[in-house]
Amino acid sequence: MDDMMEEALQIFREESAELLEEAESALLSLEEDASDTELVNGVFRSFHTIKGSSGLFGFEDVVAFTHVAESVLGRVRGSELALDDELLSLMLRCRDHMALLVEKALDGNAPLSDDERGKGDALVARLETYLQTETVTPSAAAPAAEVTIDDATGTVANENWHISLHFGRDALRNGMDPLAFLRYLPKVGDILSLVTLYDRMPQASEMDPEDCYLGFELDLRSEADKQAIEEVFEFARDDCDICILPPHSTIAGYAELIDALPDEHMPIGEILVKTGAITPHELAAALQYQQERNSHAEADEPVPVIGALLVERGSTEPEVIATAVQKQKAVKNKQSLEQQSVRVNASKLDSLIDLVGELVISGANSRLLAAQQGDMALIQSQETMSRLVEDIRDTTLGLRMVQVGDTFNRFRRVVREVSKELGKKIDFRISGGDTELDKTVTEKIADPLMHLVRNAMDHGLETPEGRLAAGKPETGLLSLDARHDSGSIVIEIRDDGGGLRRDKIFAKALSLGLIENNQGMSDRDIFRLIFEPGFSTADQVTNLSGRGVGMDVVRKNIDALRGQVDVDSVLGQGTTFTIRLPLTLAIIDGFLVRVGGSPYVIPLDMVVECIELDESQTDSLRHSDYINLRDKVLPFVRLGEWFDVPGSPSERESIIVVRFAGEMAGIVVDQLFGEYQTVIKPLGKVFQNLRVISGATILGSGEVAMIIDVAALVKEVVDREPTFRGSPGALVQRHSTTVH
């Protein structure tokens, strides 16, 4: 029992976190369009679900506080309150307090501190100012419609929807307000008549003041469909019985829609849902009722089919069922399957990734042994197995890929709060949120992005007065963008602020001894100095920045992810931070090479082409570090010299052309072995300062191969002081070597 409860609490923890994130996202979106009823309903739905789930576990503090916030949202849904900036800010703080209450509840109902309880009481007091006692009467002003029932069909004979609503005994205990639904119903139509039912009211001596005995019968004139009308009562489905009968003219329309369905077999319930004759909830309730009837029926007692039950429960009409049955008989039996999703613990997924990695290594070993045996049947079987392992690898890695938009959306709240604190107007824009990245990388990139976003707001963007004085709009632009590029993900943080001052950065670096006065440096090199430990050009320290630690943390965290961060800026126009990260930290497609007696792996998605050099080309380039590649200067590095590999270079070397961040470079190696599935093994702390190495992998032979960090290598090659500078033509004249 304890294990079951622990599992249920874990599910509640995960679901409440997701609901709170959805609520925050919806509230921030409402700041742009407060009239979006779907967003309001989304926030209400999140709060209501958390309240209901908390009640199941006896988390009374969560239930009590959320009920008050939900009641205010109910008035917003009913157009009784305008969602202005003040109320929106209040709801965001309520969302934060709900998160705190949920955390305390899951921590064994830990008590709130005096400060936390005081803040909660203050929020409740502010919420209650939005709640006023009202007396809601039936729509007396609305003209009453005469309602008659057709004896033959049992349906409403007029042209209006008829709704029968009976609340359950526990509706009030579960936080339901019966009148709230009547206040909201006019948003989808006009209430023509309303009768309050007291038929379930017991004798006074038997009444429980906490029980609900109310019911309503009403007629509604509306152009909405049945699904839209039922959604009004979405939050009361479990606490009441609802029967919605359509206008008589709509019944004939349902029959036409059923006849127009494509010729494929569907169960009766699905046919009715597709045409709107019943709602999904009505179908689910009828199926559950059928199951209960079946479990309690006698052996020889027939249980009504689903169509008869739907008519019996008042969900639809006999002629609609008859039309659906005829349609079903006219087509073949073909079941449609619904896609399902399963919640999986992250640790289990990580274990699966590890096992797949071991499977890849074992597969490489089997492939090597098969090649050594020379048995063609075994080799072919192993190739088939390798393809399957590769498919398993790709599918498994896909399970851990998530959209970065969820991480980006967290900063909308940060921008909103910080901009108000700084007195700045900021337009925050997100693009590329559907770009996918490994979940592990996504989690670890959140802190660096937070530093960069806050830095852009504090240092980058000017005050409204400063922007107007500079001839800019008073609202600054801050954008966060993500995209895929050459096997990496590129994240850009851009602002249209004042930009970085090169002279100020240079002077600060000079005073700290980071550079020498006569040291020639490009603007790009100067701007990179802001990532040095303790570096800051802020005139004063604030609670946002100025201590000289944030940018250093950014670079360290991104380096730990085998990524790269760069900065570009134009004075008076703005600054752009560019982060490049690998898509995954687990398994990649690599290109296996050998230099001397040592194997190396180069990430395949960064390889552009391979060039095999003949003996004459090798000799002519022996003392150079540039070649002419189709009239373009290509710098290269000899991997053997870089790592000081013992032995003489091969007589016929090869150049692997790689690309990263738009820059190209060459890597000279002795042998090429082709594509290789590479399981990345992190290096220990002893090797953490190893340049241009991002990890290691185990080959099928048991050898350990280093994985080349192409990003770092390209940077080293491109940024080094060249031994020769000139045009491609001059390079050809000097070396007489052109590679095509």
The alpha carbon dihedral of 580, 585, 587, 590 has a sign of positive
Structure tokens given for 261: 């369905």
At residue 417, the pLDDT reads: 87
Query: Taking a C-beta distance cutoff of 8 angstroms, is the pair 473, 433 a contact?
Result: no
Instruction: Report the percent of the chain where pLDDT is more than 70.
Output: 77
Query: Taking a C-beta distance cutoff of 8 angstroms, is the pair 538, 549 a contact?
Result: no
Q: Which positions of the chain have pLDDT values less than 50?
A: 1, 133-158, 332-340, 546-548, 721-736
Structure tokens given for 496: 């249209």
At residue 96, the pLDDT reads: 92
Q: Name the nearest CA neighbour of 185 among 239, 224, 135.
A: 224
At residue 525, the pLDDT reads: 79
Q: Name the nearest CA neighbour of 111 among 98, 100, 121.
A: 100
Query: Taking a C-beta distance cutoff of 8 angstroms, is the pair 450, 411 a contact?
Result: yes
324 CB contacts (<8 Å, ≥6 apart)? Answer: 258, 268, 271, 272, 277, 307
What are the Cα distances from residue 181, in Å, to 222, 235, 463? 16, 9, 46
466 CB contacts (<8 Å, ≥6 apart)? Answer: 498
Query: Taking a C-beta distance cutoff of 8 angstroms, is the pair 33, 57 a contact?
Result: no
With tokens 């398994």, the residue in question is 587
Q: Name the nearest CA neighbour of 585 among 688, 707, 700.
A: 707
Please tell me the distance from the alpha carbon of residue 495 to that of residue 135, in angstroms, as a whole number.
52
With tokens 């080959």, the residue in question is 699
Q: Name the nearest CA neighbour of 542 among 455, 463, 606, 627.
A: 455
Q: What is the DSSP string of 432-489?
A: -TT-EEEHHHHHHHHHHHHHHHHHIIIIISPPHHHHHHTTS-SEEEEEEEEEEETTEE
Please tell me the distance from the alpha carbon of residue 214 to that of residue 167, in angstroms, as a whole number.
6
At residue 628, the pLDDT reads: 81
Structure tokens given for 739: 């590679």
At residue 486, the pLDDT reads: 66
305 DSSP assignment: P
Q: In which order are the strands placed within the sheet that holds 215-221? A: 190-197, 215-221, 161-167, 240-245
287 CB contacts (<8 Å, ≥6 apart)? Answer: 269, 306
Q: What is the pLDDT of residues 58-95, one digit of tens each?
A: 888 888 898 888 888 888 877 788 888 889 989 999 99
CA distance between the termini of the chain: 72
The alpha carbon dihedral of 367, 369, 371, 375 has a sign of negative
Please tell me the distance from the alpha carbon of residue 160 to that of residue 217, in angstroms, as a whole number.
13
Q: What is the pLDDT of residues 201-235, one digit of tens each?
A: 888 888 888 888 888 878 888 888 777 787 777 76
Q: What share of the chain is helix, strand, coil (3-state, %, to 5)?
A: 45, 20, 35
At residue 734, the pLDDT reads: 41
